[in-house]
Amino acid sequence: MTLAVLEPGSDGVQLLYLLAVVLFILGVRRGTHPTTAKQGNLIAAVGMAIAVVTTLLLDGIGNWGLIVAGLVIGTAVGVVASLRVQMTAMPQMVALYNGVGGGAVALIAWSEFRHALDIGHELPLDELIPILFSMVVGSISFWGSNIAFAKLQDLIPTKPLAVPGQQVINALLVVGIVAACIVLGINRDDPSEPLFIAVLLAAALLGNLVVLPIGGADMPVVISLLNAFTGLAAAAAGFALDNVALIVAGTLVGSSGTILTLEMANAMNRSVPNILFAGFGGAPAAGAAGGEERPHKSVGPQDAAIALAYADSVVIVPGYGMAVAQAQHAVKEMADELEQRGVTVNYAIHPVAGRMPGHMNVLLAEADVPYEQLKEMDEINPEMPRTDVAVVIGANDVTNPAAKDDPDSPIAGMPIIEVDQAQQVIVIKRSLSPGFAGIDNDLFYRDNTSMLFSDAKGAASEIAAEVENL
């Protein structure tokens, strides 16, 4: 059975694809403002629906039982996963969705290759090259994203896992993949499927090996890069299938992912090659190594409440720890209590607070924190010396003064929220343990720093209650 309404490659089909692509571009464009972004997402989704329905109506589309099975399974998984995921787990979710997208590209490339073998059709180079490209890159993206997911989900250690001779193995794999692709190209009148599958597996291994040695702190950059890769792989699949919708949509994602990747890397003052090939400073910096017994001050919620209630200006520095503890609502309550007493409260948002740019803003927006209280790092840092109390809640590496003071630190040069410049610092944290980067934080041992050892949610609620009772 086939619906066979539209002729593939006909003007009508191309116009429908053009409409879909225009809606993608408009959708992304509307995504540039918080007020129109939701609408933009809907517009892009409508574009996707048009592209899918158009394709389903093409002449030659068959095998309906399997198509429906694939659509139903995919929709069910997608709906359930996106409704159940916590806001805090968003980066992992994006990694996972990106991974399945990459997997789909690789499988489609394989299927096309098999089809050419079946009908004994010699693949022209302008089809074979895109097929090989999308297969290799899709496979890398699938496995790399899965590793990124597993790391962020704490299924495997977030610490860099290095294999001896890693770079050499990776280089050999790349050379092997390229060589095998050239052989497939030369023998394109009768290409070998086992060799094709070997390339698929080598790319899978490469995806694992490239991402495994990268520390958890760098993972957003990696996910973003893999997102761009999947986009390019989809564009390549479009070349192979002569499908203009795939080419344009894939390329759009390729360019956006590239920009995001560079921007995130920039925010951490790291270059992308450095992240990919260096791992994250294997050992902790010498200066911070013996820090377990260093003296520090600790306070209780009552003292913290007094310090905060009698301050003029308070800056809250939220981090991933606050998000994990689901403490954003409790923090908002605490801020409300302080504001009722006339204290000026602002939130300092590091570019990579949470685990991705904008992640923290989403979490705080969820708790109804007014948009204008969210200050970006460059905006808040000059205000720090005039700030009475800075409250660090579940943030760690992004406040570490070692980034400025210690040139040997693995995070040297990373821009930080300069809370150490504030008159007084209260750090709400469970323990003195190091953060995502795996290094000790000098801030905890400064004279003007007090540690409040507690979970973020409990501490914020207690402080709010104490302030209310003052």
Partner 1 sequence: MELITEVIIFVLAAFVGFEVISKVPTTLHTPLMSQTNAIHGIVMLGGLIVIGLSDDIVNEIIGTIAIAFGTINIVGGFMVTDRMLGMFSRKPKPQVEDKTTVTPAESGGEAGQ
Kindly list the catalytic residues: 397
Closest approach of partner 1 to the CB of residue 329, in Å: 13
Candidates 81, 156, 175, 197; binder of partner 1 (CB under 8 A) is 81
Q: Which among 320, 345, 349, 321 is positioned nearest to 333, based on CA atoms?
A: 345
Position 144 contacts partner 1 (CB under 8 A): no
Structure tokens at 242: 């002569």
Q: SS3 of 7, please?
A: coil
Query: How buried is residue 256: exposed, middle or buried, by Cβ count under 10 Å (0-12/13-18/19+)?
Result: middle
Minimum distance between the CB of residue 339 and partner 1, rounded to whole angstroms?
Answer: 16
Q: Binding of partner 1 at residue 93 (CB under 8 A)?
A: yes
| Strands 449-453 and 424-429, bridge-based pairing | parallel
Are 413 and 392 within 8 A, CB to CB? Answer: no
Determine which residue in the list 15, 45, 178, 182 makes contact with partner 1, applying CB under 8 A. 45
SS3 assignment, position 375: strand
The residue within the footprint of partner 1, chosen from 5, 7, 15, 34 (CB under 8 A), is: 34
109 DSSP 8-state letter: H
**What is residue 371's DSSP assignment?**
G
Using CB under 8 A as the binding rule, whether residue 257 contacts partner 1 is answered as yes
User: Closer to partner 1 at the Cβ: 61 or 195?
Assistant: 61
Helical (H) or strand (E) element with 348: strand 344-349
Which residue from 318, 357, 358 is spatially nearest to 335, judged by alpha carbons? 318
Report if residue 73 touches partner 1, rule: CB under 8 A: yes
Supply 14's token pair: 């191309």
State the nearest-atom distance from the C-beta of 13 to partner 1, in Å: 11
32, 164, 189, 447: which one contacts partner 1 (CB under 8 A)? 32
What is the smallest separation between the CB atom of 254 and partner 1, expressed in angstroms? 7
- Shortest separation between residue 155's beta carbon and partner 1, angstroms: 19
Q: Is 271 in the site for partner 1 (CB under 8 A)?
A: no
**Angstrom distance (rounded) from CA 255 to CA 252:** 5
Contacts to partner 1 from residues 375-404, by CB under 8 A: 376-379, 381-382, 384-385, 404
> Among residue numbers 273 through 312, which ones bind partner 1 (CB under 8 A)?
none
Out of 3, 5, 12, 78, which residue is the one contacting partner 1 (CB under 8 A)?
78
Q: Is 104 in the site for partner 1 (CB under 8 A)?
A: yes
Among 169, 195, 205, 252, binds partner 1 (CB under 8 A): 252
Whose Cβ is closer to partner 1: residue 258's or residue 396's?
Answer: 258
The answer to the question of residue 11 lying near partner 1 (CB under 8 A) is: no
447 and 296 Cβ atoms separated by less than 8 Å = no
Q: Which residues pair with 314 in a beta bridge?
A: 345, 389
Distance in angstroms (rounded) separating the CA atoms of residues 349 and 380 = 9
| Binding footprint of partner 1, residue count (CB under 8 A) | 128
Q: Which of 218, 397, 406, 418 binds partner 1 (CB under 8 A)?
A: 418
- Out of 6, 13, 16, 40, the residue judged to bind partner 1 by CB under 8 A: 40
Q: Is 422 one of the binding residues for partner 1 (CB under 8 A)? A: no
Q: Does the footprint of partner 1 cover residue 326 (CB under 8 A)?
A: no
Closest CA to 441 of 318, 451, 266: 451
Residue 450 — left, alpha, or beta (φ > 0 → left; ψ -120 to 50 → alpha)? beta
The least distance separating partner 1 from the CB of residue 74, rounded to whole angstroms, comes to 2
The footprint of partner 1 on residues 165-204 (CB under 8 A) is none
Question: Side by side, which strands form the sheet with 449-453?
Answer: 297-298, 449-453, 424-429, 389-393, 313-318, 344-349, 374-376
- The answer to whether 403 and 411 are in contact (CB under 8 A) is yes
